[in-house]
Amino acid sequence: MSDKVKAIVIKSNDRKEKDSSVLLFSLEKGKIWVTLKGIKSQNSKMKLAQRMFCFGEFVLEEGKSGQIVTSFNCLESFFEIAEDVDKYFEASAILEVVEKLNFSSDFERVKVFMLLLNALKNICFGNLKPKYAIDKFFVELFAIYGFPMYSSKCSVCGTNAFDKLYVNYATGELVCTGCKTFISDELSKPIYLALKIFSNTDFEKLSTVRLSPNSEKKLLKILVKNFEIRFDESLKCIGMFE
């Protein structure tokens, strides 16, 4: 019995053997390891199925030791991402985040899949700074998982008459001075405004956004820290350009 899934290649293990193992993020089944048989002698179309970022339709069959790809139809190779070092690093960092995720519902899985596809599309063909695609990805991801970070008021007491705001990493939400806990970081005004922009603006419209280098660093740091605490995972890739 075969199964057809739409999926994005997260990574592939280059093995010396003829076969290749590929981690897919599929719309229908979430993340699955699959095997590409005899990849060295395969046609170039099938070889695309082990390229990072590649999006396509995979036909899978149950083999002795897991799922085997029997046919592949490339819908979008996102080839240009690998041609540009900035785009490549940012897109790889996003794949690393996806690799760490678990999905507790169909809703989460489908939403994250669409978000990833949109992020890759915009990194590949859009005009936004590739780094901002990561910020936008995190902001959207937190919202999908039920803790949108940006808010115009304190998430605990509801005041909007605050002089300072903090990220409360215990909940991933913003709080005022009176409500902050010991695991929180102050959010400076430029970072708060940047968070507001990233929360309210689509990927396509982020091309005009420019933050100061300092704000860029701080915003990404806060988003990464929130991810690492909320999801209890550490991210290696993003650390490289912090």
Which window, 79-87, 112-120, 172-180, 193-201, contacts Zn ion (CB under 5 A)? 172-180
What is the spatial order of strands in the sheet that 165-168 belongs to? Answer: 173-176, 165-168, 184-187
Rank residues 54 and 165 by Cβ distance to Zn ion and give the closer one.
Answer: 165
Q: Does 154 bind Zn ion (CB under 5 A)?
A: yes
- Where does residue 176 rank: exposed (0-12), middle (13-18), buried (19+ CB within 10 A)? buried
Find the shortest distance in angstroms from Cβ 154 to Zn ion: 3
Angle, helices 130-144 vs 189-200, to 10°: value is 80
Q: Does 157 bind Zn ion (CB under 5 A)?
A: yes
Find the shortest distance in angstroms from Cβ 185 to Zn ion: 16
Which window, 11-19, 37-45, 52-60, 169-177, contacts Zn ion (CB under 5 A)? 169-177
On whether the CB atoms of residues 197 and 216 are closer than 8 A, the answer is no
Rank residues 92 and 168 by Cβ distance to Zn ion and give the closer one.
Answer: 168
CA 149 to chain CA centroid, nearest Å: 16
Q: Does 187 bind Zn ion (CB under 5 A)?
A: no
Which 3-62 residues touch Zn ion, going by CB under 5 A? none
Contacting residue, 24, 176, 195, 220, with Zn ion by CB under 5 A? 176
CA 121 to chain CA centroid, nearest Å: 12
Count the site residues for Zn ion by CB under 5 A: 5
Angle, helices 130-144 vs 85-100, to 10°: value is 20
> Cα(154)–Cα(184) distance, rounded to whole angstroms?
13
The residue with tokens 């970070």 is 149
Contacting residue, 22, 134, 179, 235, with Zn ion by CB under 5 A? 179
Find the shortest distance in angstroms from Cβ 155 to Zn ion: 8
Find the shortest distance in angstroms from Cβ 183 to Zn ion: 16
Q: Does 101 bind Zn ion (CB under 5 A)?
A: no
Which of 193, 173, 191, 192 shows the shortest CA–CA distance to 183?
173
Query: By the criterion CB under 5 A, which residues form the site for Zn ion?
Result: 154, 156-157, 176, 179
